[in-house]
Every structure is written in C-alpha cells, then in structure tokens.
Amino acid sequence: MQLQVVIPDYVHGVWDRVEGFFGAAYAASSGDCTVSQRKLLLIQGAETLLVFTEGEEIVGAMSVKISNHPDARIAFITAFGGCDVVDTYAQVEQWAASQGAVRIRFLAKETQARLYRQKLGFATDTYMMERTIEGVSNERII
C-alpha cells in the first residue's frame, strides 16, 4: 500500500472514490463533523487528505489536521477508513514528521484504543468526555 497526499485543488477529483471511507468513519464517530463538512475542510486546506493506494485503486483515506501547540507541532487524525492503519502507519508517521509534527493524536473508542496500544505502541493520553446540553441546538446563530 502506498500513501499519497492529495492537495486541496484535487479533492473534488477524487472525492467520489474516498467519500465512502469517510462515511464509514462518520458512522463510527460521535457525529461532530459530517462527511460533507469534512470535504469542505479538505478543500479549504484546513485538513489534509491522505489516500492509500494499491496500484491505481484507492483502498483507504485519512484526513489530518496539523496544528501548532505551545510545546509541539501535532498531527491530529480527524477521520480514516478503508485500510488497515497498522499496515500503513509507518508511512503516515513519516509524512507527519515531514510536516514538522513531533506527535500524532486521534480520538478512539475503547476497543480501538486497545488495538492501537497493542499493535502500534500508542499510549492513552486523555479521555475526552462529552455531553450534549439539553435544549441547545448547534444550529442556532450566535
């Protein structure tokens, strides 16, 4: 499997081939970013689209947000699907390092976290807890 970076100008050209991977990721997520919202973030360059290919076929996709923190530049994997991350992780880490990142983070459910601890040596950093405020809609305009 080969990792390839898709620049924002080409997201539209591959979207029909990667949208399903993000749909699967969205189904397993907390629902904080829809598939169409993810596409917008990729087109705007707020996140980077990485695709995994075997020959000419795209077999997986990942979105990553690089951000600067006071003590480190961090690559945050916002969504991925379609390929075995264990097989491609070294390539993701090399790409992140080439972008100046010194850490990689992502949110995971407990079973996913256990897998990534065992297979890739990730450590549990924090638990993100969330509760929806009753009676408040995220569609309201401030």
pLDDT in tens, 53-69: 999 999 999 999 999 98
Residue 10 inside a domain? The answer is: yes
Mean pLDDT rounded to a whole number for the chain: 84
Residue 142 inside a domain? The answer is: no
CB contact set of 82 (below 8 Å; sequence gap of 6+)? 18, 20, 21, 24, 52, 58, 59, 60, 61
pLDDT of residue 2: 92
Residue 130 inside a domain? The answer is: no
Considering its fold, how many domains does the chain have in total?
1
Residue 12 inside a domain? The answer is: yes
The alpha carbon of residue 8 and the mean position of all alpha carbons in its chain are separated, in whole angstroms, by 15
Tens of pLDDT, residue by residue over 62-120, are: 999 999 989 889 999 888 888 776 778 889 999 999 999 998 888 777 777 777 788 77
The residue range of the domain holding 15 is 2-120
Please give the model's pTM, rounded to 2 decimal places.
0.82
pLDDT of residue 138: 56
Residue 139 inside a domain? The answer is: no
Do strands 73-81 and 2-6 pair parallel, antiparallel, or not at all (unpaired)?
A: unpaired
Query: The domain spanning residue 50 has which CATH number?
Result: 3.40.630.30
pLDDT of residue 131: 59
Tens of pLDDT, residue by residue over 127-141, are: 666 656 676 565 645
Report the share of the chain in percent with pLDDT over 90. Answer: 44
Res. 11 pLDDT band, cuts 50 70 90: very high
